[in-house]
Amino acid sequence: MPSMTYREAGRLAVQEAMRADPTVWCVGEDLGRGGVFGQYAGLEAEFGTDRICSAPISEAAIMGAAVGAAMAGTRPIVEMRFADFALCAIDELVNQAAKARYMFGGQSKVPITVREPMGMWRSSAAQHSQSLESWYTHIPGLVVVAPSTPADNYGLLSAAIEADDPVVYMEHKNLWDVSGEVNSGEIIPLGKARIARSGTDVTIVSWSAQLHTALDATKILSREGIEAEVIDLRSLWPWDEEAVAKSLSKTGRLIVCHEAVSVSGFGAEILATISERHFGLLKRPPIRLAAPRIPISYAPNLEDEVRVTADDIAQAARRID
C-alpha cells in the first residue's frame, strides 16, 4: 500500500469521490488555492470552479447554500477552514441540516460532509484551537467523525461523502503531515472503532490526535509490565459501544482521554454509558483525562498546561491498576 500524509489521504478521498459522482462538489474559502492547509491542492485544475467553489468569507452563507444544494440532490463537501469558524454557521447546520430529514418525514435528505479542522495547533490561541466535537454529538440527526490516521482519513471521508445524513468531519490540524499506509478503495464504515493496540490490563479509549498520545503512553506502561489496550473510536456518533465493552470484558479497567475540555466532553458520555449498561465489567472506577475548563493560551508554555500527556495517561493507568 502506498504511504501518504493525512492531508494527502483526505484529498485523495475527495478526488476519487468527485471522479465517481458528478453530484459531489466542494465549497469553502480559498479552495482555489488549495485550501488553508493544502487539502484541496490541484483539485480546481482538474474539476473547475463549478465544482471547486471558492466562497466569500461567510460561513453562514457557505453552509446555507450547501444545505439547500444537498436537499436539491447534490452531495456538497463543505470546508469550514477551522472548527471555531463553523460556529458562525451553527443555525444552518443544527437547525436546518440536522432536522430536515425528520421534519419532512424522510422525503428530503441532506447528504453534506462538513470538514472542520480542529484542535490545538502551536500558538493558535483561544479562537483557533478548540475541540468542539461534543457540541455536535449532542444534536440528533448529525453524524460525527474524528479520524486519527491517514488510512482513516481516507476511508472515513469516503464513507462520509457517501452518507445520506449530514456528517461533521473533524480533522485535527496537528495531523496534516502525519504519514502512513493507505489502501485506496478501502472505505471504513461509520460507527466502527479500531483496536490500535491489544492489551489485557487496562482499556484506553481515545480519538483524533489524542490517540497518538495514548499509544505513546503504552510504551511507558509496557516497560513496567502493564499492557494497555487502546481503542480508537474514529466515529463519535454513532460510537462503538460494543467494542469498548468487549475490551472491558478482558481488562475491567477504563480510561478515556481527549483533548477537548473535560466538562461535558464526549468522554463523560462514554463513562456514563459504560457505568449504566456495563457496570459489571468494571473492576475499578473509570478515569477521564481531558483539558481543564479554560481558554487555550497563545503562549506555548501555558498551552502545554492544558494538554493531556503520555505521562498523565501512564499515571492514570498505574492508579487504576
CB 6 within 8 A of CB 175: yes
Is 128 in the active site? yes
Q: Which long-range contacts (CB under 8 A, 24 or more apart) does 292-296 make?
A: 292/261, 292/262, 293/261, 293/262, 293/263, 295/126, 296/120, 296/124, 296/125, 296/126, 296/129, 296/130
Closest CA to 120 of 112, 136, 132, 107: 132
Sign of the alpha-carbon torsion through 105, 138, 297, 315:
negative
Instruction: Tell me the torsion sign for CA atoms 306, 309, 312, 313.
Output: positive
Rounded Cα gap, residues 259 and 208, in angstroms: 9
- The grid coordinates listed for 40 are 484541496
CA atoms of 198 and 120, how far apart (whole Å): 28
Q: Which of 128, 172, 212, 258 is catalytic?
A: 128
CA dihedral over 153, 158, 163, 167, signed as positive or negative: positive
Strands 287-291 and 254-261, by their bridges, are parallel
The residues annotated as belonging to the active site are: 128
